[in-house]
Amino acid sequence: MKFFTLITICLSLIELVFAKNQYTGVNESGAEFGQGEYPGTYNKHYIYPDVKAIQASIDQGMNIFRVGFAWERLQRSLNAEFDATEFGRLDEVINYITSNGAVAIINPHNFARYKNAVIGTSQVPNSAFSNLWNRLAQKYKNNQKVWFGLVNEPHDMPTAQWFAAARDAVDTIRATGANNNVLVPGNAYTGAWNWKETFYGESNASVALRYFSSADKNIIFETHQYFDSDYSGTHEQCVQRPCNKLFVNFVEWLKANNLKGFIGEFGAAINRDCKACVEEAINYLEQNSANIVGWAWWAAGPWWGNYMYSLEPKGNKFPEQMTWLKPHLNGPSSLTTVPTFDFADMAPNGFPYCQYCEVGATGGDGSLWGWENEQSCVVDYGHCKNEKPKTTTTTTTKKTTTTTKKSQPTNDVCFSINLGYKCCSGCDIVYVDQDGNWGVENDQWCGIKNSCNAQSCWSESLGFPCCQNTKEVYYTDNDGNWGVENNNWCGII
């Protein structure tokens, strides 16, 4: 008996040390941005995730990505066919994730609403919600790496109203023949901490069991958890220590009812308490990996900038939080370290400031960009060391202007600089997205230079590029009309 007990204890300790949650990843946010702007303008009101950034996270060992989008953009009116362009954007991201071995969670980030009307009302009947999921299930039922996250954070509605809609949607999904995992959130923003509470009406814990049970296959209950004072994820401080306590009621409910759970969102800012808090939380989730199948950090996405919880990489470099998560990631990875960047050195858009004032590209908003230390950086004359280059003046001869012609043409830079990637040295295109044409060199993404596709003009034979964005003539000679872009001469055609 003593020998058996000793063996049992040892095996339990081994399980505690080595049992990671099966699915570990991040939310990919951006396509749900621009709330109220429907359908909105792509790349102005909203943006889809950058698959190159997703690949960097896969390389570090992340194996699940929760992809948010706005229901109103995909389905422009209730029960309508999907908008082909919008579905194409979503489908590109989902297919990229799953074709690279990871799981993609489809997540209508709508808070159980369509244009602010609540699901389960006359404005948005359950049948309309089920119609959305019928169409999505038909698209992805043959890809088991696609999970169906019914909706993001239902709130301010009767709990039974939400779970009745969820049950109808699940039945509709199963009727298509789809056996994909389905994530079912709860009411009251689906907090793990309040799963058994009743301040929002009937508790999620009690109502969920009226509509679902362990007999339902591939059903996973989804909760979210933040560690600040009001559990909202809007503050820098983690005050709910020890942070594992916030998951206990949810986990014990799963165990008692032989159910599975997934933490669809959690996150924290960079400070000592939050780092310890995240470790407490993940350790507890790992100890209960028999019931908690995984988790997803909030959040990554192209437009987060220097947001305190952001996990969006710049090239292959990450915010510090990725170093916290790395030991717990369960996807395949040959990388043993996480290159990082420091938000303290970031411009407001989330990119680092350049050390030197060499401008490589100009953004559409007038921002100046350079390339240093294998990543894009923002040229700000208050931060860089070199003297600010003088602007061109309209003089009678080129020799007396303060801008001189340089041997490297402006169009040898490219759009990818301000996205965190180098320009390619060649012109071989291997991938095209809304940003532009991409190549691969030294196993890294790079942007195809403007010069690969630029319209030829008279100035190129003289060693100067064509002007791309200006028609303002600064000087005219026997060769033609000259303009200036990025402090370099260019030919106007």
Q: Which residue has the tokens 């041997």?
A: 407
- What's 244's DSSP letter? G
DSSP character string of 152-171: S---SS-HHHHHHHHHHHHH
Distance CA 217, CA 219 (A): 6
Residues 6+ apart with CB under 8 A from 110: 32, 70, 71, 72, 151, 152
Q: Which residue has the tokens 């089920």?
A: 130
Q: Are 433 and 52 in contact (CB under 8 A)?
A: no
Distance CA 201, CA 26 (A): 31
265 labelled catalytic:
yes
Backbone angles phi, psi at 318, to 5 degrees: -125, 160
- What's 370's DSSP letter? E
Of the residues 28, 86, 265, 312, which is catalytic? 265
265: β partners = 224
Of the residues 28, 32, 153, 286, which is catalytic? 153
Distance of CA 28 to CAs 69, 104, 111, 344, Å? 9, 10, 17, 23
Distance of CA 274 to CAs 134, 226, 269, 341, 489, Å? 40, 10, 6, 18, 51
List, by residue number, the catalytic residues: 153, 265
